[in-house]
Structure 1
């Protein structure tokens, strides 16, 4: 009889075949009981062990590992993209360059948001921005109860709308993913962001990872075959995916080592994790050998 696992997983091109029943298993049944959107389940996952398996933002997972939460990583990115375009400003209030946000207020949903990790890292390492000189205006806290934002973060009043505040000039800029306003006044803080991303990829050969598949450590310990089956399903589902960008995070531990290491380095630099992690400790004996 198949083992049923409580699973938190959103709809992505790479997971569609798993969720619509084209890829199944005799060993495990994935019960997709998580909320919509799936990131609303991350807090319950790391604070209450609510799910056996599913996706986690790479930043949330790094924090979970640093604070001793019982999840292990599968070498299977579920989502990822270039992030250079994810910082915007309203040109009506002046044409600004990345360094100009020093001493200013910049909005972001939460300081630990994965998009924010990547774009802040780009602003620091590609554009020379001193991130400690920016006041990060946030709407919410992180997923881990043990974590506290750096001292240069301030909480916005409940109900604040960051895109609107950026458009009104109340914030010098905003770090936004899909929420970036489709407004002709909005410009990317990183100049010529799309070409900057292409140049960065040519140098680094990394596509920033957003979410990866994880499993509860006890599941991996007691039922490694189930974990191997989940990885097989993810891999087969990816192979059947349509509409995936030509440049997308790869599958496999070594193929992702550089991207994961970069996430660790930038998370430590931005005071998101309390200690340096190694890539290898994110996996266990079962998941490190997948693929």
Structure 2
């Protein structure tokens, strides 16, 4: 009996990896131990700081910083998490912030400065709404996944460990908050906290129609020593992720699976707005535009020293022209 290479993958518990998790899809020659319990911030820290996992879903923003610093990580163009971000700018409702320009000169919080969601939002606010990232005073809660020194002109402070950035927003200690998740005051309908864009879905659709970008949040990182020792795992893993997503999307077309009254309509609306595969992997034209925009924001905000070409950031997963295809 041939022995497979045993590797640990840490990622979110997504439908698109269900076939991998359940063993319906198995990467050729690889036995995956899949861990899904950790939240994103913890997983990224443990991967980039401690190298605890062989493969991990990883913050795209922090991966750029890690590669710029020459840290021992590579990635394949598998993007397990995307999310539009206009609905994740929260404000204290007593501060008179009704439009993006009102953020200028204000105190703005973030979970961490390097977080991909926050990088996208800073870039979008600067490019599309005229709010320079240096025009606000920044306050963060978590340590960064990769250490960095704030560049000259950036006002950035870390709050005391005893404080919560969400509580500070509700109590008016900060004026606004950019966050990767729906914050507790919104869930609890705290009247002191609202969204900068109450009609955020309309803003996100307009943004997509203008740019073609459905923001990539996470890449799939691999410890560099593994790809150097076993280069064959790169296309094998990529193919397995592709197969897993294809099977998951085929399964998800069944409206009986999800307890939503208008699930089918939501699926059809997504397809009409974003096309047949908005979760596409690889470095096709749309993903290149997506990632090059993020690289540009990272460089403009002095997180990375140069605009790193995508060919340096992602391993080549090709198996040759017209080769390596599969059928679901």
| TM-score for both structures, normalised by structure 2 | 0.81
Q: Are 1:6 and 2:8 matched, yes or no?
A: yes
Q: Are 1:176 and 2:199 matched, yes or no?
A: no
Give runs of aligned pairs for residues 9-20 of structure 1, distance below 5 A.
9-20=11-22
Per-residue CA deviations over 1:47-86 (Å, capped at 9, x if unaligned) read 3333221211100110111011222221111000111111
Which range is displaced more, 122-131 or 92-101?
92-101
Contact 1:5–1:29 (8 Å) recurs in 2: yes
| 1:203 matched residue in structure 2 | 210
Distance 1:218 1:95 in 2: 49
Distance 1:179 1:164 in 2: 14
Equivalent position to 2:284, from 247, 254, 262: 254
- Residue segments in structure 1 that go unaligned for 5+ positions in a row: none
Contact 1:91–1:187 (8 Å) recurs in 2: yes
| 1:149 matched residue in structure 2 | 150
Which range is displaced more, 126-135 or 158-167?
158-167
| 1:235 matched residue in structure 2 | 242
Q: Are 1:40 and 2:42 matched, yes or no?
A: yes
Distance 1:112 1:162 in 2: 16
Per-residue deviation at 1:34? 7.0
| 2:83 matched residue in structure 1 | 81
Contact 1:8–1:33 (8 Å) recurs in 2: yes
Give runs of aligned pairs for residues 83-122 of structure 1, distance below 5 A.
83-122=85-124
Contact 1:72–1:214 (8 Å) recurs in 2: yes
Distance 2:22 2:81 in 1: 18
Distance 1:184 1:143 in 2: 31
Distance 2:207 2:82 in 1: 15
Distance 1:96 1:276 in 2: 34
Contact 1:75–1:288 (8 Å) recurs in 2: no
Looking at secondary structure, tell me which structure has more strand per residue. Answer: 1
> What SS does the corresponding residue of 1:124 show, helix, strand or coil?
helix
Equivalent position to 2:302, from 261, 266, 271: 271
Instruction: Kindly report the root-mean-square deviation, in angstroms, between the aligned alpha carbons of the 2 structures.
Output: 2.3
Per-residue deviation at 1:38? 4.2
Distance 1:95 1:177 in 2: 20
Per-residue CA deviations over 1:164-211 (Å, capped at 9, x if unaligned) read 221222211111232332226333224632111111111111110111
Distance 1:25 1:111 in 2: 35
- Residue segments in structure 2 that go unaligned for 5+ positions in a row: 253-257, 259-266
